[in-house]
Structure formats: C-alpha cells, structure tokens
Amino acid sequence: MLGRFLFRWRGVIGLAAFGGLFWLARPTFGSCFAGVPFVLVGLAVRFWASGYIGIEGRAREIGASRRVVSGPYRTLRHPLYIGNFLLVAGMLVVLRPGVAVSVAVLVLFVVEYSFIVVAEEAKLALVEIGESRVESRESFVPRRALCEWRTWLATGAALGLALLKAALRAR
C-alpha cells in the first residue's frame, strides 16, 4: 500500500525534495560541471530503458502488461530507478547541500524506491500468475524513449537554476 502511494506521488515527492535541496544549495560553477556527467549517465540510462518499456514507465499507477526482459532489463530489474538514482546523485554534486543532507537524501531515495520496487514486484507476480509468465523481448524503439522529454526538461531547468544560483553566489 505504501509502495503504491509512493509510486503515485514520486514526481511530487521529487519536486518537493528538489525545492528543499535548492534552498540549501551552495552550487559553484565547478560543482555544476562535476555533477553533469552523473546527470547525463542517469538521463542516458532512463532513455535506454524507456526505449524498451515506453510510456508504461511514466504511469501514475503501478501496472504491467508484461515483463520486459531485453535491453537494460536483461541485466537490471529496474533500470529507470538506477537512472533516477544517478540523476539524484548528480544533482547532489551540482547543488552541494552538505554531506549530511546528501547522505539523508540518498538513504531516503533508496527507502522510497525499495517500497516502490516491492509493490511493482507484487504486481508483476500477479501478471505472471494470471497470464502464465508473460515476458516480452522488445527491441529499442526511439519513439518510446521520447516519453522521457519531461525528465529532460525538468533536469535542464534544475541545472539552469543551479548555474544561476552559482552565478549569483559568485558575485
């Protein structure tokens, strides 16, 4: 139940967390550039995974019509969440909120997504039981990956705000 709630509100939770982090942020131009590689790898992982799973990864409710077992899903159970973790870690480098805050954010991220993963696995188990293990060997479809445009927009805005704050701090 908690996992489904966190899944539904994960975007709002992330936005609120970013707002709090931004308030505590002490970015510099150096931290902005140091965090960008993590952010880019996180975006790339999300793009890659979305090319296989498509819009189902953007749903507000947990639901699965199949278990994707190709691309990044061949070796990772939840590559979108690995991408999210890299985005969060990269933004922590960019924003420099302090070590204690950064550790707390990473721990809370892992706890939140652990609940979400348990809820998703329960849903996937029902799909497998009800339809005798529906696995899908999808191919990468760029059109599916384009559903990530919201993540790109939000990440670009966050990096832009961090650079602006770094510029204001440098004055």
Nearest one of 94, 101, 114, 100 to 157, comparing CA atoms = 94
Q: Where are the domains of the chain?
A: 2-170
pLDDT at 12: 93
Q: Would you say how long the chain is, in residues?
A: 171
Residue 57's nearest CA partner among 2, 126, 116 is: 116
Quote the pLDDT of residue 128.
Answer: 58
Supply the pLDDT for residue 66. 73
**3-class state of residue 66 by DSSP:** coil
At 67, which helix (H) or strand (E)? Answer: strand 67-68
- How many CA atoms are closer than 13 Å to the CA of 162, on its beta-carbon side? 31
Q: What is the DSSP string of 24-65?
A: H----HHHHHHHHHHHHHHHHHHHHHHHHHGGGGG-SS---S
Residue 133: band (very low, low, confident or very high) from pLDDT cuts 50, 70, 90: low
Task: Report angle CA 43, 98, 84 to the nearest 5 degrees.
Answer: 20
pLDDT value of residue 127: 61
pLDDT score at 131: 53
Q: What is the pLDDT of residues 123-132, one digit of tens each?
A: 877 765 555 4
Residues 40-49 have a mean pLDDT of 96
In sequence order, the β-bridge partners of residue 135 are 67
Q: Output the six-digit token pair for 80.
A: 């979108």
pTM across the whole model: 0.90
**Could you give the CA distance from residue 145 to residue 6 in angstroms, rounded to a whole number?**
23
Checking if the pLDDT of 11 tops 80, the result is: yes
What are 16-26's pLDDT values in tens digits?
999 999 999 99
pLDDT per position as a tens digit, 99-126: 999 999 999 999 999 999 999 888 877 7
The yes-or-no verdict on residue 45 having pLDDT over 90 is yes
